[in-house]
């Protein structure tokens, strides 16, 4: 189990992209609390969830970075304002 206060690249990316937990979770079909636990490193994402998240963020984050956040915990997400087509509405 990972540190509950880990600031994962996934969380950094979501925040820098100005997306809420609910917006991302609803878009990929999971509960916001589940996404929150994955972001905080309390729960490991399944390969299927990692793929959905990587696709949602247009591959600005890799599945490996989502599946193994502790390997990338010292890095910072570097994201330009990347709007997802579903967010345009």
Structural domain boundaries in the chain? 9-74
User: HEC profile for 65-79?
Assistant: HHHCHHHHCCCCCCC
- % of the chain exceeding 70 in pLDDT: 75
C-alpha angle 37-12-88 in degrees, rounded to nearest 5? 95
User: What is the value of pTM for the model shown?
Assistant: 0.78
Q: With contact defined as beta carbons under 8 Å apart, do 30 and 38 qualify?
A: no
pLDDT of residue 70: 86
Q: 20-37 pLDDT, tens per residue? A: 999 999 999 999 999 999
Q: Does domain 9-74 have CATH number 1.10.260.40?
A: yes
For the chain, what's the residue count? Answer: 89
CA atoms of 87 and 74, how far apart (whole Å) = 29
- pLDDT at 80 > cutoff 70: no
- pLDDT at 75 > cutoff 80: no
pLDDT of residue 37: 96
Q: 34-73 pLDDT, tens per residue? A: 999 999 989 999 999 999 999 999 999 999 999 998 888 7
């Amino acid at each position: 189990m990972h540190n509950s206060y880990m600031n994962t690249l996934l969380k950094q990316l979501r925040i820098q992209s100005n997306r809420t937990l609910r917006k991302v979770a609803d878009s990929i079909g999971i509960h916001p609390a589940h996404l929150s636990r994955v972001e905080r490193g309390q729960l490991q994402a399944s390969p299927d969830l990692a793929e959905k998240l990587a696709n949602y963020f247009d591959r600005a984050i890799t599945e490996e970075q989502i599946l193994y956040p502790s390997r990338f915990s010292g890095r910072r997400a570097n994201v330009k304002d990347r709007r997802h087509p579903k967010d345009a509405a």
